[in-house]
Chain A
């Protein structure tokens, strides 16, 4: 299946967007490690309309400029939803994208159909602090990001030397991560407001995540009433890349149980 490319202008900022499929809207909030359209998006697009905008700061979209924190990014996405006329979208967010979904859901739970947090940043868990990804070299990053750091997908997402044509994308992604997640990829206040999430929630986590361990999944689970947790074996911080079939299965069965 192929996706369509679109460009939006949101408050004078160019936003690149990919979309495919028909059905209920599923808004994909990407991470800053890999944000390409993958077979996972294709599989989901067989059942939902998958909408995959590129965050400000990342390649294809305009600069971050006055987007200084997660609150600004949530407002940005409210604008995106308004422009696209999205009603009650489902949010699927890995890593930084999951943090964004949680920040959104504590503020405006009623406008979301469901949220799916995949190895999400966002919570301060003092007994299991998140890894400072930005101080690691590529080999060290692969070791914490992937259950199998030798796998082709690990080399592909975190190469030792990015190809010249992907260098700008690499720097932009790191810059976006630094803007929101410098040293502490969390909002210390988020935990205390998780009770406000009345939205159906799936917490999907890699058992071997070396960036935000399953202790963070447990913290989300404790904070969000009625949330479901699925922990994937042989999987690190990026389940959609490392265990794509298991992710598609977990996501589709969770959404199917919600009904329409």
Chain B
């Protein structure tokens, strides 16, 4: 039993270390790289939770297919959805109303 719990403990440690790394990277890494590393770390943490706690590896292949599909659709939403805002010319509108 202790052996099995060890896996959980190691995963927890990795997550805490990644959190520390995120915090450090926020203040230390300059320029555009900082946000990339920070978000990347977040995604790694998500992956650790998925594999260690949710046992994605050992789950039914159908469940794994659902995860892949969900991630793919999320990419479509974020990618295709930001295609227009990123390529559009935003004409600044004067803030005329104060709520």
Are A and B physically bound partners? no
- A-contacting residues of B (Cβ < 8 Å)? none
- B-contacting residues of A (Cβ < 8 Å)? none
